[in-house]
Amino acid sequence: VIAFEAAEGVVVAADRTVISGNTVASTSADRLLAFEDCGGAVLDNPQTVRRELEAKLRSYRTEHDHAVTLEPFTRMVETVVGEVGTDAAIAARDSDGTAQLRAVYADGSVLTDPPLALGTGAELALGRLEASRPSDLEEAAAFAENVLAGVAERDTGTGEEHDVWTLRND
């Protein structure tokens, strides 16, 4: 899973391979979490995380008359990934409408310093992400695909199939 900020918004990308222990559990997992106004990607158990977050988001939208912003979404994700035991890179807009990222870990810690990379190829991905990133959101999405493709060539735990999601600033 990789995530980074561009001038026009944020990009989150994930391969479709899920590793359980030292074994490939799936090569077709959809690890992206794409909701109306927030989203991200998780390392493990994407279906469970998606289902739990959908329920929390429905409840939030029933109780509030506005889109979920970064802080409440981060708290929701903290609860879910802690229960499930996985890590996530998430994105939502802050109160000013700027899309921002967070890494949320199963142990309850939150990292607020993008770029983010999680999983077996994290070190390889961070090297490319820290060197340079496009500012245009469409170019940034294509760049994310290239980063994951490069990581997949060097890391056996990273799959060749991947998905990219973007969240544009308001």
Which pLDDT value is given to residue 19?
75
What confidence tens digit (pLDDT) does each residue in 113-167 have?
999 999 989 999 999 999 888 989 999 999 999 999 999 999 988 999 999 999 9
Q: Average pLDDT, whole number, for the chain?
A: 94
Residue 89: exposed, middle, or buried by beta-carbon count in 10 A (0-12, 13-18, 19+)?
buried
State the Cα–Cα distance between residues 123 and 165, nearest whole angstrom: 21
What confidence tens digit (pLDDT) does each residue in 67-96 have?
899 999 999 999 999 999 999 999 999 999
| Alpha helix ranges (H) inside 31-156 | 46-63, 70-84, 122-131, 137-154
